[in-house]
Amino acid sequence: MKKEWPLWEIFIRSKSGLNHKHVGSLHAADAEMALENARDLYTRRNEGVSIWVVESKHITASDPDDSDPLFEPARDKVYRHPTFYTVPDEVSHM
């Protein structure tokens, strides 16, 4: 039985100033190879200026079954959104 390479999650920054965004996953034997594979798989159409790779096993995900206790309480607390202020026209990027 062939031993599979570990899975890596790939994050690409599409241009300077923006956040890295999850784009997908791939197999690689080590971090360097993951970077190179990511370069070939996810940036060949000029999608990025920076790549992060993280081995999938290092990611801890929330359980979908827990979504009510985790997220429901925030749903009716609209006052946490800063939507009650009037933003002056001169202020951009809000």
Q: Does 54 interact with other proteins (rule: CB under 8 A)?
A: no
Longest distance between any two alpha carbons in the chain, whole Å: 65
By the rule CB under 8 A, 33 interacts with other proteins = yes
Question: d(Cα 20, Cα 91) in Å, to the nearest integer?
Answer: 26
Tell the smallest beta-carbon distance from residue 28 to other proteins (Å). Answer: 7
Should residue 37 be labelled a site residue for other proteins when binding is judged by CB under 8 A? yes
Q: CA 9, CA 84: separation in Å to the nearest integer?
A: 39
* Residues in contact with other proteins by the rule CB under 8 A: 5, 26-30, 32-33, 36-37, 39-41, 44
